[in-house]
Amino acid sequence: MRQSTRNTLTTTAALWKPLVLLLFLPALAACATHRTAPPKPAGTLFHPSQLVKTDLDRVAEAHQREIFMNLRLLTEKLYRRNPRELKKSGQANIEAGLRRIFERRHQWRFAELKGARGTQAIHLAFREDYSGDRVLAFVAGLGSMIQTAFNDKTEFFVLDDLEPQGLYNAARNVEIAVWKLSNTHDAQGEPLLLSNEASGPVRNLSFEREFGKVIGSLDVLSKIMAEKNNRTVIKVIQSLATAVFLPVR
């Protein structure tokens, strides 16, 4: 009798699962496209969204959360090394600047960037005649470019798919952006944005390490998605000094 009851419950759950997916997926997908940065993990509490996620969806979310945690830490470091940029944005302190970039629902569109997103915003950060917050332009460019590679979503469900080539190209674009950060100077030979400190008794390469984590996460996820979909990623080798940003979608 007990075995029969268990079989009935199992059959009922199997029948209900597609219906639950159809009911919840549109609403959950809509929420996932309106956030700016990935939400924090839900912890041990059950949420209906778990019913419509595969293990690979959770892997993608974990990598995305890690990337944006690294990006937030890098933004904090950039503001500490370049306090004049924070003043340009009119923010009271670094934490306010971080909340503005990573917690508000702006879809990576800022009025002072005049609609520039992705690599356009990164280029803007290194224009010598740009008078706005260079940290904001640089980070908003990176953030929106990476989000484009994630299909502008912050949660993933069973019907979602990520393009491995886009993730790979995003990793290469981060490498190009890091090169520009370290090598772009003004007319007086001063860096437009201070980052790593290579001179002095102690070398500070913390920026390099954090950017390396972002690049590594994108590359690993690209390989996972390529294997999942049996796709081939076209590898690109180019000199960073003359490299051009690659399309991510």
Query: Per-residue pLDDT tens for 200-217?
Result: 555 567 899 999 999 999
Cα torsion 140, 143, 148, 149 to 10°: value is 150
**220 contacts 63 by C-beta, under 8 angstroms:** yes
Quick one: pLDDT at residue 238? 87
* Residue in this structure with the two tokens 């980070």, named with its chain if needed: 139
Instruction: Indicate if the pLDDT at residue 230 is higher than 80.
Output: yes
Instruction: Indicate if the pLDDT at residue 37 is higher than 80.
Output: no
Residue 32, C-beta contacts closer than 8 angstroms, at least 6 positions apart: 153, 154, 155, 156, 157
Q: Is 185 helix (H, G, I), strand (E, B) or coil?
A: strand
Q: Tell me what the mean pLDDT of segment 99-114 comes to.
A: 93
Quick one: pLDDT at residue 17? 46
pLDDT band for position 221 (cuts 50, 70, 90): very high
Residue 215, C-beta contacts closer than 8 angstroms, at least 6 positions apart: 171, 174, 175
Structural tokens at position 162: 């990520």
Instruction: Indicate if the pLDDT at residue 185 is higher than 70.
Output: yes
Q: Tell me what the mean pLDDT of segment 36-59 comes to.
A: 70
Cβ count near 8 (within 10 Å): 10
Between CA 111 and CA 184 the distance in angstroms is 25
Amino acid at 30: A
Between CA 230 and CA 3 the distance in angstroms is 40
pLDDT band for position 41 (cuts 50, 70, 90): low
Quick one: pLDDT at residue 196? 83
Cβ count near 93 (within 10 Å): 10
Quick one: pLDDT at residue 206? 86
- Environment class of 128 (CB within 10 Å of its CB; exposed 0-12, middle 13-18, buried 19+): exposed
Q: Tell me what the mean pLDDT of segment 40-50 comes to.
A: 57
Nearest to 123 by CA among 142, 107, 108, 105: 142
Residue 126, C-beta contacts closer than 8 angstroms, at least 6 positions apart: 134, 138, 180, 184, 192, 193
Distances (CA, A) of 148 to 56, 69, 177, 211: 19, 17, 16, 18
Quick one: pLDDT at residue 12? 44
Instruction: Indicate if the pLDDT at residue 113 is higher than 70.
Output: yes
Between CA 144 and CA 148 the distance in angstroms is 6
Q: Is 224 helix (H, G, I), strand (E, B) or coil?
A: helix
pLDDT band for position 159 (cuts 50, 70, 90): confident
Average model confidence (pLDDT) across the chain = 85
Quick one: pLDDT at residue 16? 46
